[in-house]
A and B are shown apart, each in its own frame.
Chain A
Amino acid sequence: MLRFVAYYVGANLDVALAYRAAFAAKVFAFVVSDAMWVAFWWLYFERFPSVEGYGFRQVVIVWAIAATAFGMFGGVAAGATTIATRVARGELDFYLVLPKAPLLHLVVSRMDPGGFGDALFGIVTFAALARPSLEEAAAFTVLAVLATVIITAYIVAVQSLAFWTGRAETIADQALFGLITFATYPERLFGGPVKIVLFTLVPAGFVSYVPVRLVQEWDWTLAGALSTVAVGATLASSAMFRLGLRRYQSGSALSMRG
């Protein structure tokens, strides 16, 4: 399976590099966009050194984890963001007539070049501004992968709503933007019912807050719980996709693979 995914990532990169200037421009734009936010926080903490116990280093870790996870999601699993559109247009046929698991195949079938910008920004920022210890760096790597898995599972689940609703592109886009937004703010800004939402409907808590806590202070129980969430979310979203496939209505639109 890993060889299949690796081959796909390589081929997607070839496709992206077919238009090298566009690829470079998008990577650069994402790096600049992320950097502007961190610059904003840097200016903010110059004036107010602490927000609810958060300092600049914590915010850097928040951004580094989120950017790296969303970057890896974009670089490897951006196909997940196309599920709703393809379901609505009846374009899953290609994946259904091949022996590889259609969800895996669909998820890795697209790459967002901007993901490279995000991931590059996240890793460099973490290394340069958070100045992590070796243990923190190791934890960061593992946690970024877990966060990527949770993001992918969440997006697959939301996009798969299209099997039942017919169209789910708008709600799926909002879900992704909501997750990005909440995952890049300090956890302590939110409390009460909002926090419940952030660990359920918009799982920014598992994508960002828990990983940030673990990078700063490793806890095997919490890490185990996060891993369980990642596995559970993957199984649940896969089951939802499989269930949805029973309702799939193929289409006859002309289509080419990008």
Chain B
Amino acid sequence: MTMRDDEAAIAVRDLSRSFDRPDPTVRGWQRLVPGWRGYRASVALHPVNFEVARGERVALIGPNGAGKSTTIKLLTGILHPSGGTARVLGQVPWEDRADLAFEIATVFGQKSQLWYHLPPRSTFELLRHVYDLEASVVRRRVADLTERFALGDLLDRPVRTLSLGERMRCELAAALLHAPRLAFLDEPTIGLDVVARQAVRTHVREMNSRDGTTIFLTSHDAADIEQVCERAIVLQAGRIAFDGPVSTLRDRFVRARSIDVRFVDPVSAPGTVPPGTNLVETEPQRWRLEVEGASTAVGPVVAWVIAHGPVADVHVADPPMEEVIAAIYRDTDALDPVANLQANP
């Protein structure tokens, strides 16, 4: 059931966008001939529908060119749609862009909003003028953000001297200066090292839990999705191929779970295995099995293993989210939009 569009943080109805792309079959000189257009419409986003509740943490994922950035740019008012409509915090982004900008934050991992040659504090001061904030309010918020993001002396160092991780912490702090109710984060961890990525995820979760900021995130990093978001929308070639909880995403696309068994004493290899199970590796004291799909119960398989001899250790593991996402990107057939929408109405 849908919530009212003005109650949702984001409500998207049949939103679509096409771009004019050069027609590769038209030669350069032909473009000069009147009537020979030389361009054709390329659909970046087919009509899509979804909602995001206030305070929700949603990941928009999909392979390159799936329409993720186009969706974010439509929802922030950067682009006008070719069709359909959207409401973000009750406003139509491309019509009420300036008003909406007071309520949202946008962080593009690949596009810095910090002045390269000046310290972040100068950008904060600029943003004070951009958002018409009182100096005393900004002082308080900068102090708070400095503590939360451990900015310390970073605030007064030229941005060009900061590491990528330090810069991204400053970007996030800058995005929060005006206390937005909704944050669009487009690949916020791109290019960061493991520690910096972890820090960004922690900060984003805190934005949500502490300030109630709705999070709408795109990323190719499985851990961003798994650790930050509770819900995923999968875009495939401009269409929604999946919309549901992140946990369901794993169940839906899990091809096999693995069971690692270590026996107390050497055991002989079994002649047959339970249905839906493959024996991948056998050593005298160790077996590795794969249980196909999410529907095959693991319990009977473990019981069957134990029947072969005393067990020292058993480890059942889902495939990492990285593999789930890689499978989604590789296998378009795995994604049946109609079936998924029916499964997750």
A254/B129 in contact, CB under 8 A:
no
Q: Which residue of A lies closest to B110 (CB)?
A: A254
Chain B residues with CB below 8 A from A246, complex form: 80
Residues of A within 8 A of B110 (CB): 252-255
1/0 per residue, CB under 8 A from B, across A8-39: the answer is: 10010011001000000000000000000000
Report the minimum CB–CB distance from B113 to chain A (whole Å): 6
Say whether B101 contacts A99, CB under 8 Å.
Answer: yes
CB <8 Å contact, A94 and B99? no
Contacts of B236 in A (CB 8 A): none
> Which of B115-123, B194-202, B271-279 is the contact stretch?
B115-123
Q: Quick one: which of B211-225 are within 8 Å of A by CB?
A: none
* Complex Cα–Cα for A250 and B108 (A): 13
Interface check B49, CB cutoff 8 A = no
Residues from 53 to 103 in B contacting A, C-beta threshold 8 Å? 69, 73, 76-80, 97-99, 101-102
Give complex CA distance A3, B128 in Å. Answer: 11
CB proximity of A6 to chain B, nearest CB, Å: 9
B130 at the binding interface (Cβ < 8 Å) = yes
A128 contacts the other chain (Cβ, under 8 Å)?
A: no
Would you call B235 an interface residue if the criterion is a C-beta within 8 Å of the partner chain's C-beta atoms?
no
Q: Is A249's CB within 8 Å of the partner chain B? A: yes
Contacts of A14 in B (CB 8 A): 118, 122
Assess whether B50 is interfacial by the CB under 8 Å rule. no
| Cα of A15 to Cα of B76 in the assembled complex, Å | 29
CB distance from A27 to the nearest CB of B (A): 18
Quote the shortest CB–CB distance from A118 to chain B (angstroms).
Answer: 23
Interface string of B128-152 (1 = CB under 8 A from A): 0111100000000000000000000
Q: Using a Cβ cutoff of 8 Å, how many contacts connect chains A and B?
A: 82
Q: Is there a chain B Cβ closer than 8 Å to A134's Cβ?
A: no
The smallest beta-carbon distance between A248 and chain B, in angstroms, is: 7
Q: Check A193 for interface membership: any CB of B closer than 8 A.
A: no
Residues of B within 8 A of A252 (CB): 69, 110
Known contacts being A96-B78, A97-B76, A250-B78, is A4 close to B115, with CB within 8 Å? no
Using A15-B117, A97-B106, A99-B131 as known contacts, say yes or no to A255 and B111 having CB atoms under 8 A apart. yes
Interfacial chain B residues near A248, Cβ < 8 Å: 78-79
Does A57 interact with chain B (Cβ within 8 Å)? no
Instruction: State whether B112 touches A97 (Cβ < 8 A).
Output: no
Q: Which residues of B contact A92 (CB under 8 A)?
A: 78
Residues of B within 8 A of A253 (CB): 110
Contact indicator A99/B102 (Cβ below 8 Å): yes
**Closest residue to B160 on the A side, CB-wise?**
A256
Decide if A256 touches B116 in the complex (CB within 8 Å). Answer: yes
Asked if A7 lies at the interface with its beta carbon under 8 angstroms from chain B, I say yes
Asked whether any CB of chain A lies closer than 8 Å to the CB of B304, the reply is no
The answer to whether B125 and A7 have CB atoms under 8 Å apart is: yes
Q: Which residues of B contact A11 (CB under 8 A)?
A: 115, 118, 122, 125-126
Count of interface residues, chain A, beta-carbon cutoff 8 Å: 30
How far apart are the CA atoms of A97 and B127 in the complex, in Å?
A: 12
Residues of chain A lying within 8 A (CB to CB) of residue B104: 97
CA distance A238 to B118 in the complex (A): 30
User: From residue 197 to 249 of chain A, which have CB atoms closer than 8 A to chain B?
Assistant: 245-246, 248-249
Question: Which chain B residues border A101 with CB–CB below 8 Å?
Answer: 98
Interface flags for B26-67 (1: CB within 8 Å of A; 0: not) read 000000000000000000000000000000000000000000
Are the CB atoms of B131 and A93 closer together than 8 Å?
A: no
**Residues of the A chain whose Cβ atoms lie less than 8 Å from the Cβ of B69:** 250, 252
> Nearest CB to that of A16 among chain B residues?
B117
Shortest distance from the beta carbon of A167 to any chain B beta carbon, whole Å: 13
**B80 contacts across to A, CB distance below 8 A:** 245-246
Query: Which chain A positions have C-beta within 8 A of B126?
Result: 7-8, 11
Contact residues, A94-126 vs B (CB, 8 A): 94, 96-101, 105
CB distance from B259 to the nearest CB of A (A): 42
Whether A18 contacts B117 by the Cβ 8 Å rule is yes
Provide the residues of chain A in CB contact with B111, threshold 8 Å. Answer: 93-94, 254-255
A-B contact pairs, 29 of them (CB 8 A): A3-B129, A4-B129, A4-B130, A7-B129, A11-B115, A14-B122, A15-B117, A18-B117, A18-B158, A93-B108, A93-B111, A97-B78, A97-B101, A97-B104, A97-B106, A99-B98, A99-B102, A99-B130, A99-B131, A99-B132, A100-B98, A248-B78, A248-B79, A249-B20, A250-B78, A252-B69, A254-B110, A255-B111, A258-B117
Q: A8-B129, A11-B122 are known contacts; what are 9 more A-B pairs with Cβ within 8 Å?
A: A4-B130, A14-B122, A15-B115, A18-B118, A98-B101, A248-B78, A252-B69, A256-B112, A257-B115
Closest 6 CB pairs of A and B: A99-B101, A97-B106, A96-B78, A18-B117, A256-B116, A4-B129
- Chain B interfacial positions (CB closer than 8 Å to A): 19-20, 69, 73, 76-80, 97-99, 101-102, 104, 106, 108, 110-118, 122, 125-126, 129-132, 158-159
